Amino acid sequence: MKKIALFAAACAFALAPRLSLAAGEVTVGIDNFAFTPAEITVKAGAKVVFVNHDDIPHNVVAQEIKLHSKALDTGDSFSFIFDKPGEVVYFCGLHPMMKGKITVTP
């Protein structure tokens, strides 16, 4: 039973809406009018790839930095390298209720 409980806890942690990774490449999905995971932490220099899995277009916009993708159709992707430490709150310019946050560490 302990193994099952540990496995369940590990799965719950893995599916949490927050992700913390080192520099490299991270994928954020766009599913059901939401960015998944909604919050991530990356090291400066990390590449974040946004992939639209919805049946309608979405885009990615942030006001703190110059980040504005074109409208992404189903299956389209957009990538951006986050090279400066800080917090970036982003949203879909077509559906502003869709929001996410990227924390960039040194």
Q: 58-96: per-residue pLDDT in tens?
A: 999 999 899 999 999 999 999 999 999 999 999 999 999
Question: How many other CB atoms are there within 10 angstroms of residue 9's CB atom?
Answer: 10
Domain range 17-105, CATH class: mainly beta
Give the CA radius of gyration of the chain.
15
Please, what is the average pLDDT of the chain? 86
Domain map (residue ranges) of the chain? 17-105
**17 has a pLDDT exceeding 70:** no
